[in-house]
Chains A and B, each alone.
Chain A
Amino acid sequence: AQKITQTQPGMFVQEKEAVTLDCTYDTSDQSYGLFWYKQPSSGEMIFLIYQGSYDEQNATEGRYSLNFQKARKSANLVISASQLGDSAMYFCAMREVSGAGSYQLTFGKGTKLSVIP
């Protein structure tokens, strides 16, 4: 069963507008972490934001915020005031905190975001 689902293969957004990238996850663990990464065409994975399963507040990092709805098992990324440099692939990932504290991440298939001037 797919653990991380990103249903939007591609999205377009106008520059300076906000955009929401969807992510749903599946786990039976109570303790887990959710991550969003950005991957430009150069290939490097850039960490954007993290949300722990026990965090009561939604995580925010600058223009990035994570809309965490635990009961619905969703962790959507909101990018405010989009910039041309935001055009990239975006990956949602989950770390299940079981099994000797392993740092294994499970990734979704990604969403390709294109920002239009």
Chain B
Amino acid sequence: KAGVTQTPRYLIKTRGQQVTLSCSPISGHRSVSWYQQTPGQGLQFLFEYFSETQRNKGNFPGRFSGRQFSNSRSEMNVSTLELGDSALYLCASTQASGYNEQFFGPGTRLTVL
């Protein structure tokens, strides 16, 4: 079974630009979560999508948004990039039952110049 995939793996953008990151979950997984990892703040929850609906959202500004498609693939978008948005963005997928673990993708490393 293929794991969680994320594209692109690396991105370099400049301040003010916008960026879209993509995540394909494990087949059959309906929940997709996004996390931001920075050296200063550690791992922080961005949002979670389940059946194309945002089920939960972390404490991030409205510049961070996401969506989920009918095939469970998810995208997150960051508009008006700031230097502080430089981070590793991790996507995780989960089966929709019980207390199952979240399986993470390899991440997208975003650098904002």
Contact = CB atoms under 8 A, between A and B. Distances in A.
Nearest to A44: B106
A43 interface: yes
Nearest to B109: A43
A107 B99 CA distance: 16
B88 interface: yes
B106 A104 contact: no
B99 A50 contact: yes
Interface of B is mostly: strand
Interface stretch (B11-19, B41-49, B64-72): B41-49
A42 B92 CA distance: 16
Given A100-B55, A102-B48, A104-B56, A47 B42 contact: no
Interface residues of A, number: 27
A100 B56 contact: yes
A105 B109 contact: no
Contacts, number: 63
Given A50-B101, A97-B99, A105-B45, A44 B107 contact: yes
A50 B43 CA distance: 18
A103 B105 contact: no
Interface string A17-52: 000000000000000010101000011111100101
Q: Interface residues of B toward A: which range? A: 20 to 34
A90 interface: no
Interface of A: 33, 35, 37, 42-47, 50, 52, 91, 93, 95, 97, 99-110
Interface of B: 31, 33, 35, 42-43, 45, 48, 50, 55-56, 58, 88, 90, 92, 94, 99, 101-107, 109
The 9 closest A-B pairs by CB, nearest first: A45-B104, A102-B56, A107-B43, A33-B99, A44-B106, A43-B107, A103-B94, A47-B101, A104-B45
